[in-house]
């Protein structure tokens, strides 16, 4: 029995005869399914058949790769189950095609139910659930989803990274054997976020078969890509368990993380739209108001919360068009530095003797929303909370706890700890006019045992979801942001619960060009927090112009994170101009399709180009960014594909300075024609076919500068 799920561009062909489904084909659409799907040859020196790679491959069936299901009962029994077909169904819903398959092992007393969804826009979603219908517990060591890929998926692309250098794409030939990354930090992580790409050799932003796979989970995870000795290959992904962490008791069920797959025959950029569309579907609220411009106080005042200074900052923010004022760390308990106070979620009487209301009233009277920073999962040893309840830390009895950032993790799986935090945060949001919460998480899970003494990361992750869900239910008009030392918790399960993620603690515009380019492969711009930082970056020490910082930050959810009370009149005018540009193009930026371009010497980081197209392709806002000195004296060619071939597009340069100047070098006569004419207010127009096939010579620019280009159909 073979089932075919298809869209205009994609086919997923599934063999359901074995109970646990086998994906025979995931890729380009095929219109005819043969009566007999040809099986691979049986190699010499092996067993007498080739076990297919199922969604949950089993060792007991003869699969010699990494099993997707590893479990046992007491004494090691039933460690290698074999499931058989029980039933299946294929239905069409508003979301797309849904295939549900049931498999059973009567000897091991287990049942596995697998859901495969192919949405109308070609996003593949897979999740399996095991049911223990026996009378004894099942210790679960691994339970993941595997997706086979064709032999021409010859390369892998993975995001490496670290704090202030997130989403650094590494691309390499798929090695013989296995490549794997395992994350045990208790959050999605900077270092190994659970996204992986595979592609044919030579695939680029606009060409070639590209597949992306993501395990939508905010805790520990594993990503595993194997090329078997017979040449077959697959990607396996899901939650990673510590030893003894997961047990499925009699009569209970447990599900894998949902694994999301995207595919495009036209390169990375169209494949990215699948992840973006799925993010938008998962958003906790649809049809949000335009994403307001933030001012975050962290890099303006740090822990120095002086009410008069904050009011002055709010005044200046309102003057330049900022729409939301977010009070960062330092407002609560004894929190005067990073060593104290976490867990004491009440307004500090030392810093705010009259409470937060006077500051909030000042901000809202200026027409801005008020937001606030919290870190509910963390606790300082030097806090009233931990002094009163030392056993509430997620730690292992008998050992000295390993501190990170002078803090420990608060065990939210303890009902009393959960209720304590929920009560205080509920009161904070109930008693104040707060419309936005920045939810941070700054410490890894290290030897984190719960009250039972077992590994607690899974339960902690589930409890974190429950706490956030409870606050959203009680305060449905409050928006939330996910932050974890910057971009340490960005995944599609978190995106069910938050309207925004903090992409990185780095506001260095040069670093952000690379960070945001990587992040744009998996999340849409409206959830990508991007701030205009101070002229001198506090993470790198580099200095950048306001225009370069602004153009970089425009292509996300724009904010400002600097002491703008110290800006001179020229800088304030520039900032106001950039905010006005963002507000003018906000609907396009947050409602269109993100695009990235293959630009000259991109591998060397010489230049980058990116932007957003309107869905109907009648308009675009693009940035060409010169990052370092080019090796060539003449500009490279910037090809701009996927516009309407027979429509003509007017090419304007958007001034990012009130004077009307643009960041190009030399007189108009030394620039490419389209730049020179635009500088003189005489923009040219070109057909979509010309822009895609021939393209435009890039402008001549200083390193670490950018030009903003608007295309509109004539």
Q: Is 435 in the same domain as 580?
A: yes
Q: What is the DSSP letter of 424?
A: H
Q: What are phi and psi of 664, to 5 degrees?
A: -125, 160
Is residue 148 situated within a structural domain?
A: yes
Is residue 498 situated within a structural domain?
A: yes
Active-site pick, 505, 508, 593, 642:
505
Is residue 103 situated within a structural domain?
A: yes
Q: What are phi and psi of 73, to 5 degrees?
A: -95, 175
Instruction: Tell me how crowded residue 262 is: count the other CB atoms within 10 A of its CB.
Output: 27
Q: Is 583 in the same domain as 651?
A: no
Q: Is 62 in the same domain as 32?
A: yes
Instruction: Tell me how crowded residue 34 is: count the other CB atoms within 10 A of its CB.
Output: 8
The answer to whether the beta carbons of residues 578 and 656 sit under 8 Å apart is yes
Q: Is 427 in the same domain as 555?
A: yes
Q: Is 270 in the same domain as 301?
A: no
Answering whether pTM is above 0.85, one says yes
Integer Cα distance of 207 and 209 in angstroms? 7
Is residue 248 situated within a structural domain?
A: yes
Looking at 558, 592, 626, the residue that finishes a domain is 592
**Confidence (pLDDT) at 602:** 45
> Which has the closest alpha carbon to 528: 512, 544, 541?
512
The answer to whether the beta carbons of residues 438 and 362 sit under 8 Å apart is no
- For the domain that residue 481 is a member of, what is the CATH number? 3.20.20.70
Integer Cα distance of 73 and 134 in angstroms? 10
> Which has the closest alpha carbon to 15: 5, 7, 6?
5
407 CA to centre of own chain: 26
**Confidence (pLDDT) at 659:** 67
Q: Is 128 in the same domain as 140?
A: yes
**Confidence (pLDDT) at 148:** 97
Is residue 287 situated within a structural domain?
A: no
Domain extent at residue 617: 595-713
**Confidence (pLDDT) at 600:** 44
440 is catalytic: yes
Please count the structural domains in the chain: 3
- For the domain that residue 168 is a member of, what is the CATH number? 2.70.98.60
Q: β-strand 479-482 against 436-439: which pairing, if any?
A: parallel
> Which has the closest alpha carbon to 256: 154, 125, 439?
125
Residues of the chain where predicted confidence (pLDDT) is lower than 50: 600-603
Active-site pick, 440, 459, 491, 508:
440
Is residue 584 situated within a structural domain?
A: yes
- For the domain that residue 668 is a member of, what is the CATH number? 2.60.40.1180
Integer Cα distance of 193 and 166 in angstroms? 9
Q: Is 332 in the same domain as 382?
A: yes
**Confidence (pLDDT) at 209:** 97
Q: Is 107 in the same domain as 211?
A: yes
Integer Cα distance of 260 and 635 in angstroms? 40
């Amino acid at each position: 029995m073979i089932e075919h799920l298809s869209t205009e561009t994609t086919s997923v062909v599934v063999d359901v005869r074995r109970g646990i489904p086998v994906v025979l084909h995931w890729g380009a659409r095929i219109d005819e399914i043969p009566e007999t799907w040809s099986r691979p040859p049986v190699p010499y020196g092996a067993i007498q058949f080739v076990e297919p790679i199922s969604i949950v491959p089993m060792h007991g069936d003869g699969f010699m790769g990494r099993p997707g299901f590893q479990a046992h009962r007491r004494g090691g029994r039933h460690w290698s189950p074999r499931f058989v077909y029980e039933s299946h169904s294929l239905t069409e819903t508003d979301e797309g095609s849904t295939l549900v398959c049931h498999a059973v092992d009567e000897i091991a007393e287990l049942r596995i139910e697998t859901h495969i969804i192919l949405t109308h826009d070609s996003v593949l979603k897979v999740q399996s659930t095991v049911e223990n219908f026996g009378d004894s517990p099942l210790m679960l060591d691994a339970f993941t989803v595997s997706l086979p890929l064709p032999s021409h998926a010859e390369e892998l692309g993975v995001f490496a990274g670290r704090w202030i250098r997130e989403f650094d794409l590494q691309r390499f030939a798929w090695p013989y054997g296995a490549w794997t990354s395992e994350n045990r930090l208790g959050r999605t992580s900077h270092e190994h976020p659970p996204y992986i790409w595979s592609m044919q050799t030579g695939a680029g932003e606009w060409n070639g078969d590209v597949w992306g796979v993501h395990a939508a989970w905010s805790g520990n995870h594993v990503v595993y890509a194997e090329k078997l000795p017979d040449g077959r290959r697959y990607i396996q992904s899901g939650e990673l368990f510590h030893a003894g962490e997961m047990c499925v008791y009699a009569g209970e069920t447990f599900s894998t993380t949902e694994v999301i797959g995207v595919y495009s025959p036209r390169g990375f950029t169209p494949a990215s739209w699948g992840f973006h569309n799925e993010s938008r579907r998962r958003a906790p609220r649809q049809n949000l108001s335009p994403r307001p411009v933030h001012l975050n106080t962290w890099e303006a005042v740090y822990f120095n919360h002086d009410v008069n200074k904050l009011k002055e900052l709010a005044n200046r923010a309102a003057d330049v068009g900022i729409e939301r004022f977010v009070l960062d760390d330092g407002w609560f308990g004894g929190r005067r530095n990073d060593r104290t106070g976490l867990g004491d979620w009440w307004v500090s009487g030392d810093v705010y003797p009259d409470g937060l209301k006077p500051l909030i009233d000042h901000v809202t009277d200026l027409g801005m929303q008020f937001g606030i920073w919290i870190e509910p999962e963390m606790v300082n040893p030097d806090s009233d909370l931990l002094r009163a309840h030392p056993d509430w830390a997620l730690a292992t009895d008998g050992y000295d706890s390993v501190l990170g950032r002078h803090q420990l993790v608060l065990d939210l799986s303890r009902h009393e700890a959960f209720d304590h935090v929920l009560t205080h945060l509920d009161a904070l949001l109930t008693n104040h006019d707060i419309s936005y919460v920045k939810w941070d998480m700054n410490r890894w899970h290290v030897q984190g045992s719960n009250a039972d003494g077992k590994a607690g990361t899974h339960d902690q992750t589930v409890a974190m979801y429950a706490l956030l869900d409870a606050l959203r239910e009680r305060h449905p008009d409050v928006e939330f942001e996910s932050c974890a030392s910057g971009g340490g918790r960005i995944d599609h399960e978190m995106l069910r619960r938050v309207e925004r993620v903090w992409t990185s603690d780095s506001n260095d515009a040069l670093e952000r060009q690379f960070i945001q380019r990587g992040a744009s492969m998996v999340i849409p711009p409206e959830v990508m927090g991007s701030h205009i930082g101070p002229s001198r970056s506090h993470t790198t020490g580099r200095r950048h112009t306001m225009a370069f910082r602004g153009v970089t930050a425009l292509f996300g959810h724009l904010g400002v994170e600097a002491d703008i009370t110290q800006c001179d009149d020229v800088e304030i005018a520039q900032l106001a101009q950039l905010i006005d540009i963002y507000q003018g193009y906000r609907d396009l930026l947050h409602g269109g399709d993100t695009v990235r371009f293959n630009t000259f010497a991109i591998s060397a980081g010489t230049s980058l180009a990116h932007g957003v197209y309107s869905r109907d392709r009648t308009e675009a806002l693009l940035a060409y960014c010169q990052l370092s000195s080019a090796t060539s004296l003449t500009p490279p060619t910037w090809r701009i594909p996927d516009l309407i071939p027979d429509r003509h597009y007017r090419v304007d340069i958007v001034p990012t300075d009130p004077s009307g100047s643009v960041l190009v070098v030399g007189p108009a006569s030394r620039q490419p024609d389209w730049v020179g004419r635009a500088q003189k207010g005489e923009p040219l127009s070109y057909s979509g076919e010309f822009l895609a096939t021939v393209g435009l010579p890039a402008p001549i620019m200083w390193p670490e500068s950018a030009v903003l280009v608007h295309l509109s159909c004539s």
